[in-house]
């Protein structure tokens, strides 16, 4: 597991993206009100360096970055930027906001402004181009919110529910990922125990850790010459493996 503490850098980054008119600005304001440092319309190639700079003195633990197709050709650098953050050990999630064409057209018309990819054509043509450009990010999103039927307050509540914590969830996710990557053991019980002990070490505010996992037993395998054969189809999980660790006072 990485020994970097939360105070030594940005622990969590949320990329806020999605369709124009779907509510990115509302989501960004909701995150800012919950203590996130929000950066809007930053060139994607500059995201890793900006996140590192914000975390240098430990003052910023959570950063939300708003990106959209207004970045033009630079928008293609987004996925590479996210990969660099993950390589640095930063917990990265993607919030994708979308809405139906009917809802988006109505919102654009009420504001009397063109779509950034409209290019002098119909509004729906701009929306179509944007959906194509955002397809990969939408597929990779951790949370997709359809705002077609949501008002501003509904969207704020959805964002606050998903990202309004104190960073503990991000730290737990990071510990689980690091243990799976770095801890080698033939016993799932040892892997779970390692996760639990590192959670207590890395989260001083947590007094007890309780972990449960589905119990899956490997199917019987027999050698057939140089090949391996599986006797049965995969079986469903039964029972569970559990661990409860309590911090010593």
186-215 tens-digit pLDDT: 777 888 888 889 888 877 778 898 887 766
The count of C-alpha atoms lying within 13 angstroms of the C-alpha of 248, restricted to the half-sphere facing its C-beta, is 1
Burial of 175 (0-12, 13-18, 19+ CB in 10 A): buried
Q: Is the pLDDT of residue 112 over 90?
A: no
- pLDDT exceeding 70 applies to what percent of the chain? 81
Q: What is the average pLDDT across 104-132?
A: 90
Among residues 25, 17, 14, which one has the least CA distance to residue 138?
Answer: 17
Section 103-113 average pLDDT: 89
- Determine the Cα–Cα distance for residues 5 and 176; give it in Å rounded to an integer: 15
Mean pLDDT computed over every residue of the chain = 82
Domains defined for the chain, CATH in brackets: 6-163 (3.40.50.300), 185-246 (no CATH)
Element (H, E) at 104: helix 101-111
Query: Which pLDDT belongs to residue 11?
Result: 80
pLDDT-wise least confident of 5-19, 154-168, 213-227: 213-227
Contact 10, 57 (CB under 8 A): no
Section 139-159 average pLDDT: 93
Residue 174 has pLDDT above 80, yes or no: no
Report whether pLDDT(1) > 50.
Answer: no
């Amino acid at each position: 597991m990485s020994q970097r503490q939360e105070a030594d850098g940005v622990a969590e980054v949320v990329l806020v993206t999605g369709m124009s008119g779907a509510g990115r600005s509302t989501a960004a304001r909701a995150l800012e009100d919950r203590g996130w440092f929000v950066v809007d319309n930053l060139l994607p190639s500059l995201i890793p360096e900006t996140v590192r700079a914000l975390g240098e003195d430990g003052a910023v633990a959570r950063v939300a970055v708003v990106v959209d197709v207004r970045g033009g050709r630079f928008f293609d650098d987004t996925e590479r930027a996210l990969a660099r953050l993950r390589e640095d050990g930063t917990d990265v999630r993607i919030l994708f906001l979308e809405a139906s064409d009917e809802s988006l057209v109505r919102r654009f018309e009420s504001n009397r402004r063109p779509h950034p990819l409209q290019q002098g054509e119909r509004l729906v043509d701009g929306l179509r181009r944007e959906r194509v450009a955002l397809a990969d990010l939408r597929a990779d999103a951790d949370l997709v919110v359809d705002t077609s039927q949501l008002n501003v307050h509904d969207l704020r509540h959805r964002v606050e529910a998903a990202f309004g914590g104190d960073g503990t969830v991000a730290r737990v996710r990071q510990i689980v990922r690091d243990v799976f990557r770095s801890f080698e053991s033939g016993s799932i019980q040892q892997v779970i125990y390692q996760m639990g002990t590192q959670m207590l070490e890395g989260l001083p505010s947590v007094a007890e850790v309780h972990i449960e996992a589905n119990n899956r037993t490997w199917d019987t395998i027999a050698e057939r010459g140089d090949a391996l054969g599986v006797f049965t189809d995969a079986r469903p999980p039964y029972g569970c493996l559990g661990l409860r660790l309590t911090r010593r006072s």
